[in-house]
């Protein structure tokens, strides 16, 4: 098998890449980075000493950064679901939305997680407050943006939705999407019902106790 993905099922960015692979039924081997498979951790770190996963391996060629991984999949392993539109202006919009979810949803949520794990010199309560403030701004923008859309960029499921699914999943656990944002809540529910996303969420289910803020008893 040519493709291998190094990552962890509970990791939001690993899920982003998994969703893209599942969308097109692209064959690959999953190499879990964890205590039971030190050989995978060693190989991942040898190939990417910056210590961020996932990492995609295609033969001897490696790719990191999930947006780049998904761009590569679209180029080298295109399938029925076109994750980056062919039209350059439509593609630009998808790339913008992908950045929005990574930078303003995933990273905002990460502030709370990092403070809870004591990875940054911010107390847990302050980290959660800061994350909630940033997420509230992102949610408000998304509520306006999603009017009349099925998926993040419109009618088609794209790279932006691969980024949206795990970021909104964990963001909602961190700072629940208020009922005043019904379009955003419905979009998150639509993502969860999508088979590629449902599969990634199911595979991560056994690891929920790892969520540093305490996982709620719901998806």
Q: Compare residues 13 and 22 and give the one whose CB is closer to ligand GSH.
A: 13
Q: Compare residues 23 and 65 and give the one whose CB is closer to ligand GSH.
A: 65
Q: How many residues bind ligand GSH (CB under 6 A)?
A: 8
Q: Compare residues 101 and 181 and give the one whose CB is closer to ligand GSH.
A: 101
Residue among 5, 11, 128, 151 that touches ligand GSH (CB under 6 A): 11
Rounded CA gap, 160 and 153, in Å? 7
Any alpha helices (H) in the chain, and if so which ranges?
A: 12-23, 38-47, 66-76, 88-100, 107-116, 124-145, 159-174, 182-193, 195-204
Adjacent-strand bridge partners of 106:
none
Rounded CA gap, 181 and 169, in Å? 15
Angle formed at CA 217 by CA 31 and CA 157, multiple of 5 degrees: 55
Q: x/- binding map, residues 64-103, to ligand GSH, per CB under 6 A?
A: -xx-------------------------------------
Q: Does 169 bind ligand GSH (CB under 6 A)?
A: no
Residue among 5, 6, 12, 113 that touches ligand GSH (CB under 6 A): 12
Buried b vs exposed e over 8-31: b needs ≥16 C-beta within 10 Å?
bbbbbbbbbbbbbbbbbeeebebb
Q: Does 13 bind ligand GSH (CB under 6 A)?
A: yes
Q: Compare residues 46 and 51 and give the one whose CB is closer to ligand GSH.
A: 51
- Let me know how long the chain is: 219
Stretch in the footprint of ligand GSH (CB under 6 A) among 5-13, 77-85, 140-148, 200-208: 5-13
Q: Site residues for ligand GSH, window 17-56 (CB under 6 A)?
A: 51-53
Contact yes or no for 127/175 (Cβ under 8 A) = no
213, HSE (Cβ side, Cα atoms, 13 Å): 24
Q: Does 115 bind ligand GSH (CB under 6 A)?
A: no
| Number of other CB atoms surrounding residue 73 within 10 Å | 26
Stretch in the footprint of ligand GSH (CB under 6 A) among 8-16, 73-81, 93-101, 204-212: 8-16
Q: Minimal distance in Å, beta carbon 114 to ligand GSH? A: 9
Q: Could you list the residues that contact ligand GSH (CB under 6 A)?
A: 11-13, 51-53, 65-66
């Amino acid at each position: 098998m040519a493709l291998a993905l190094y990552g962890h099922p509970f990791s939001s960015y690993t899920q982003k890449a998994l969703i893209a692979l599942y969308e097109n039924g692209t064959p690959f081997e999953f190499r879990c980075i964890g205590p039971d498979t030190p050989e995978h951790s060693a190989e991942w770190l040898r190939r990417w000493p910056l210590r961020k996963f996932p990492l995609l391996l295609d033969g001897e060629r490696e790719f990191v950064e999930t947006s780049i991984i998904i761009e590569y999949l679209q180029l080298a392993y295109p399938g029925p679901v076109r994750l980056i539109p062919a039209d350059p202006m439509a593609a630009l919009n998808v790339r913008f939305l992908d950045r929005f979810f990574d930078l303003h949803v995933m990273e905002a949520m990460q502030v709370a997680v990092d403070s809870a794990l004591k990875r940054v010199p911010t107390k847990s309560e302050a980290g959660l407050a800061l994350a909630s403030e940033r997420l509230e701004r992102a949610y408000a923008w998304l509520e306006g943006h999603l009017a009349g859309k099925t998926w993040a960029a419109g009618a088609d499921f794209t790279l932006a939705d691969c980024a949206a699914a795990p970021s909104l999943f964990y963001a909602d656990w961190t700072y629940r999407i208020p009922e005043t944002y019904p379009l955003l809540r419905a979009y998150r529910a639509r993502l969860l019902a999508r088979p590629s996303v449902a599969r990634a969420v199911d595979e991560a289910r056994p690891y929920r106790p790892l969520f540093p803020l305490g996982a709620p008893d719901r998806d």
